[in-house]
Structure 1
Amino acid sequence: MEAEHFTRTQPGSDSTTDHRWEATTAFAGFNDTAAVQALPNTGSNTGLELHGPALLYDIAFQTAGTYHVFLRGLAPDGTTDADSVHVGLNGVPVTTNQGVGLTDFTDQFTWQSNSNFGQPTTLTIPTPGTYTLWVWMREDGFVLDRLRLSLTPGAVANGDVSIGPAASTRELVPSQDLENRFREQDGQVVVEAEHYTSLRAGRDAFADHSWQPTTAFANFVGSGAMHALPNITSNTFNNMHGPALLYEITFSTPGTYYVAARGTALAHGGDDSIHVGLDGVPVTAERGFGLTGYMAQSGFHWRTLSNIDQPTTIQIPAPGTYTLWVWMREDGFVLDRLWLSTMPDFVPEGDERTGPPESQRTLTCPEAGCVGRLTKPCASLGGSKCSWSMTAPASILPVMPISPYPPGSRSPSNRLTRATAAMRLSGNGTPSAATRILSATSAVGCIADGSRHRVRMDVTHP
């Protein structure tokens, strides 16, 4: 796999919330279009923790077994302060037994496989199916170019400088429904717990814990609730080691937002608390008890207090998109809904009513490509002329440019500024030799009235 062809990313947390993986062409010897680098390069090291930003690769395995992991990367200037990552499967790391990660990279691109002080890095695939390979930043500055998984232990030698075999075939995946990103309106946001934007795995003693959807508890709203499992009476106390639910919210109104969570506890005196925070920074850990109080009554109800009877609040300094985090504090807790408001007394403590309708969710159009999400390459034309056409059943938001071209390549001259009715557009252009043409046949459109429509795009070439 080419490192830049990740399926999606996860943000950093705690001390690395400002870190991210970025595409780079600054290092000689990379393959395909680019490599990716963990930035900023400030000498940070997460050690045994999985706080660093992560690259996620969805892989459809047809063959079960033990796969050996090989990474092609480099450490800028050959420094040992930027030469390691953590690797795992479905959010569970396999390189933290000794804390040094997958390492030993030099100042040129080489393949490496060893972690945990000289042990091969392996993943176990129990049955055929789709799994997610995770690559976490351990030391910032590290540059990743390619990834290789093989059932053969010695598929490539440590230190090998070759590029390796061609990248595996990638599937063209039709776009899915609206992404779960919410919009604040009139100082209020309401979110169904199951409509999270992304998940964060538990770590350390809680690496086997996760949030799971459930319909086993009466009076949930929406399609279900989220349950912190397994329920074995574990408690993270003041640590943010539990699995987390992440909700991206676009705020137009800055200020102080009061947070309420509709949930239920399964045990008297336990299973009744979560931690809450913004952009990876908790606001409920001052006294260690989290947002709690659910043991006082049975069934789903609203609670707002944390830090020993203080309102739970987050600060939005300016309009923009922020991420609300909800960590498991005690396993067994069941979360149904979240409600944020600029009004201090917007819901009584213990109120069993369901609350307002869920806030509107939005679709963020991609940085490049046509309306919708274009994710997979279908052809590499090498300078050949291609044509494209789009159809949509309703007006769409402005997107510039409309084309099948990825960032950095030339775009066709025909650009859509706004379509006010059902439309059909077409155009053509000649990409550079390195350009990969993207195509989708069922992309979700950005619609002016906030509703969802399907947009069809076809790419043809000689």
Structure 2
Amino acid sequence: MKNNKLILSAILSGLCAATMSCTNTTAPVDTKNQIKAMVPTLQAKSIIEQNGMIVVEAENYASQTLNEKRTWFTFGNAPGQLKDHNFADPDLTHIEGASNSAYLEILPDTRTNHDELLVHDENFTNEPGKMAVLTYPIYVKTPGRYYVWARAFSTGPEDNGMHVGLNGAWPESGQRLQLCKGKFNWTWSSQQRRPENHCGTPNTLWLDIEKPGQHTLMISMREDGTEIDKFILTQDKNYTPEGIGPKETVYTPPIMQERTQLVDIKEYYKIFYATEGFAPAPEAKPYFYIDKTRAAAAINAVKPAARNVFLRSSFTVPKKLSDEVFAMKLVTLSEIDGESSYRVFINDKLVGEYTNAETSVDYSENTFDLGTHPLKQGDTIHVEANAVTNGKIPEGDITAFSRGRWRALVIQHVGE
């Protein structure tokens, strides 16, 4: 069924003054300024490419693996972030000046200069993806070559390198990101260490993203003690970031709207909408119409012959419906100018009679429980409604009539 017809909203339930069990939802519906908006409450940050640029705060990684010997720690001022530590490290923390007041450092740092022992696969690895791997989900709209910049803090010659990869691969163009200049400061680099130039030259580190869609940016350790604050991937080869750089390119999800129709229906097998498939009986056809604004079938009570009589519309149960006993509910709309009544038949059997609750909120929903009944392909469901007046709303020389509005008949598997 077309679930998009269940427009979303707050649920206000009360007791229904009717001949059988029902729920009256008194919240107004179909009014834009009364639609309640919701966004996911537990959604992690999603990074998206914007105009050929991806900006990631280093501390916002999704996972860290292969960190048995060295681990990336988050230092910052926010709850859960470290302000100090007791690992081997030649320098203090550098929260001040870090973007978002947070950064990562890979510790312990046991090789800070050339005089200290280099231990492969412990305090150094030239093999990307072998130690302390971070992942960052990113969404790319514009494929192509992205030049990689990293903002890092370096205090020595042996704590200034890392590897960059994509989607489980570590291309040569992303290996050995090196920081030589700007010691004792947060500094940007896009330079790759090479045999002929250990410090590298700008814009020599890149990743080729061949297809649009979801990808995984990866960072892995090269030298322990490396401190990283932020990453930028840009298609502009001539771009050079300054200061803390641009803001993280976070995806903002659209606002989702809670439903305002069929609000008491928590689960269902099928919804037979009054506006789809139900056809008026010949005698009712001149007075029957679809109220598109309120997604309801209605009676044209402007015509005197349509008042105070039951008018029928019918629906034939379609194929693919299992032959079983179903729980059933009828959803109607209360109206301030009259309390319409309803009768529901399966074939020729009356299965329920109901009267809308009196309401002070026009078009509030009533959900009537019809009980359980056998239903199969080919059966015909008849819903009858009447247009009545309660004498409270003046309209010309008479008082206004309700329109016998109703929205749907809902069937559920027994037990739901």
TM-score normalised per structure 2: 0.43
Which is higher, the Rg of structure 1 or of structure 2?
2
TM-score normalised per structure 1: 0.39
**Which structure would you say has the larger RCO, counting Cα contacts within 8 Å and 6 or more residues apart?**
2
